[in-house]
Structure 1
Amino acid sequence: MVVSEDPETVAERLRERARRLRERAVAEHADDPLMLDPQPIDPPPHATDDPFPSSVEEQLDRLPGVGGLVVIDDGRVLGVKQGYRDGWTNPGGAQDPGESLAETAVRETREETNIEAEVTGVLYARDFAIDYGGPERVHVPLVVFTGRRVGGSRAAPLVRVSSGEPEIEDVRWFDAESLPADFRDRELILELL
């Protein structure tokens, strides 16, 4: 049985958990990563109207952490176009129980693109600060790793989010000249290329 906690305690415990996960990921994969300020966000458009979590465990059931992977292969970066959001981004998604954020990034890349990749470093780390309409934003750790392709061939999965849009509409490789203007973290990725 999960016991409800006061919102300030839930928010503080989640901030501390996010800090520990970010620090662990960085310690394992980078010497001097870019640490960005928290990014305020609303819950994803395909998510249900979740209220402020009554416990840490409730939030961990929703979204414990996010790992992304900027995959570079032969001077190109792997991009995905999500069906429920405008623009292009790198593959990534929600952490599963027992996974590190690096393991999440590798798994999500395989699931979203059919590309096998390995982590080579950390591009940046930050928190998502989610507004559930409570007294404080809920912090969820996000680490975007760098990686390289080790196998597979690109293909978009036939998976839909709860609102019916495809999770991934398209998967493509882009070189520096063809990288779309609306690619998330475009300037950081151009520096890698």
Structure 2
Amino acid sequence: MSPGRIDYYDDPAAPAANSLVPSVNVVVVNDAGEILMIRRSDNDNWAVPGGAIDLGESVAQAAVRETREESGIDCEITGVVGIYSDPKHVILYTSNGEVRQEFSIVLTARPLSGQPTPSSESSEVRWVPTSVVREYTMDHSMRIRIMDYLERKASPVIT
């Protein structure tokens, strides 16, 4: 079975982008300082929750919805890590041939309720200590976002 999503970063063999879809990712951090991570069903890589912003919802609403849908955790948005729109990062969705240019707003949040629960979009969900998060298999762009969070930059990253 081939993955439903293939990420390319600065790859001359990458297909040309044919769409741009605003999306969110959420770095949810619990009281122990652990990051909520999901193992994506579409490519088996680890990531923080996230997805497309639907018409009629705000960035914060999309972030809370996507986190709940993918992880079972309800959260409250607390800040911004950055805005990521690097045209060198494209995502191929093999089901329909869509090739998206990256456009993701990465937010921070704290959990309010719920238990880590897999969904159709996540095969595993867990709280990961920041000391080991670097060891997890993830796409290059997701690693950049998480490292930017861990560096606690003075102002949001804009790429």
| TM-score, normalising length: structure 2 | 0.66
Q: Does 1:72 align with 2:29?
A: yes
Residue 92 of structure 1 aligns to which amino acid in structure 2? Answer: G
Query: Could you say which structure has the higher helix fraction?
Result: 1
Matched, 1:93 2:54: no
Q: Out of 106, 119, 124, which is 1:144 matched to?
A: 106
Structure 2: distance between partners of 1:131 and 1:71: 23
The sequence identity of aligned pairs, in percent, is: 33
| 1:89 Cα deviation from its structure 2 partner | 1.0
Please identify the structure whose Cα radius of gyration is greater: 1
Equivalent pair of 1:65/1:101 in contact (CA under 8 Å): no
Between Structure 1 and Structure 2, how many residues are aligned? 127
What is the deviation of 1:83? 2.1
Please list every run of 5 or more consecutive structure 1 residues that lacks an aligned counterpart in the other structure.
1-42, 46-50, 54-58, 160-166
Contact 1:79 1:90 in 2 (8 A): yes
5+ residue gaps, structure 2, are: 7-15, 93-98, 153-159
CA RMSD of aligned residues (A): 3.0
- Does residue 122 (structure 1) correspond to residue 76 (structure 2)? The answer is no
| Higher RCO (CA < 8 A, seq sep 6+) | 2
- Tell me how far apart the structure 2 counterparts of residues 147 and 108 of structure 1 sit (CA, whole Å): 12
Runs of 4+ in 1 over 6 A off after TM superposition: none
1:44 paired to 2:12: no
Instruction: Give the structure 1 partner of residue 66 of structure 2.
Output: 108
